[in-house]
Amino acid sequence: MSGLSRTERAGCTKILKLMSKGDLLSLSDTVTNKMITVEDVAEAMETILSFTKHAEEFLRRKKVQRDLIFKYLAKEGVVMPPNSEKHQLVKRTLELWSSGKATVEDRDETRQRLPADTTSVSTNVKTEEGFDPLVLGQQFCQWFFQLLNSQNLSLGQQPQDWGPQHFWPDVKLRLLSRAGSEQMEEFLGAELVSLRLQALTREERLLLSPNLEAHGLKALASPHGLVLVAVAGTIHRDAACLGIFEQIFGLIRSPLEKNSWKIKFVNLKIRGQDALGGAEIAAPALTYNSSELQLLCS
């Protein structure tokens, strides 16, 4: 049997799911010395995992290419320099698995646990006593960016249930991008806002990786029930890091939909590499302070 822990097995499975069928069957032949013939992808994956003695052996296999590990880490929210060599990515993956911070359940299982029609990650968070907007902010960002990134077909994920149902009908999006020149776009209404945000990942093939550490995430609640969530992060396409983003969400509960939170407005600032002047962008910090966010609440 394999010597993989539950976390390692889950991680190896996610990397295998990024591989082509041909590479999977070939890798299965390699690990079993062609002693076992497999019929399909599922059987190949199970065989590879069963015959893998330890995680490092798996990651160092030739068929487990550098780009696959890079992509896996990006999905797990681990941002690595685009020019990282394979041995650095292997080391970081093993650290992630031993730290216990890697997600063990599959995205599809997570999806089944979230009702499809609402941002219901946070339905159980009470705005009354003991309500912590930061906890809601973290839950919301994990849910939102996983959902948005799943629309990027180059990641090979099953696109999740994105759509106007997550927004208030009069939602407003302000999109400010600086890459060379500065561009400001505004969109009004759930349908348009939903389509424009989806185009970032689907048409432009971007991957948005939020920084959910303390300096990358802020959240506060107004007395009127509006919760502001501000988050910074990095933007990637394939293995390249293109720049950073800052995003502010205004969230309001929908009493008609089991009190789930829906998005009332989105302000998104994107800065490309050239607009950053070589600044360090591994884990960007928010530039908004609490008083600026308070103004948005009023």
What is the full per-residue pLDDT of the chain (298 aa) written as tens digits?
A: 457 888 999 999 999 999 999 999 999 989 888 877 888 888 899 889 988 889 999 999 999 999 899 989 988 888 888 788 999 999 999 999 998 777 776 544 443 333 333 343 433 333 444 678 888 898 899 999 999 999 998 877 788 889 999 999 999 999 988 877 788 899 999 999 999 999 999 999 999 999 888 788 988 887 778 888 999 999 988 878 888 899 999 999 887 766 688 999 999 998 887 655 544 455 666 666 656 556 655 4
Q: Is residue 215 part of a domain?
A: yes
142 and 272: one domain? yes
172 and 261: one domain? yes
Q: Is residue 41 part of a domain?
A: yes
Alpha-carbon torsion (150, 154, 157, 163), positive or negative:
positive
Please give the tally of structural domains in the chain. 2
273 and 197: one domain? yes
pTM listed for this prediction: 0.54
172 and 129: one domain? yes
Q: Measured between alpha carbons, how far is 108 from 131 in angstroms, rounded to an integer?
A: 29
Q: Measured between alpha carbons, how far is 45 from 35 in angstroms, rounded to an integer?
A: 15
Domain that holds residue 229: 110-297
Q: Is residue 104 part of a domain?
A: no
271's tokens = 């800065």
5's tokens = 């822990």
Q: Is residue 1 part of a domain?
A: no
27 and 146: one domain? no
Q: Is residue 85 part of a domain?
A: yes
31 and 114: one domain? no
Of the residues 54, 75, 99, which one is the last residue of a structural domain?
Answer: 99
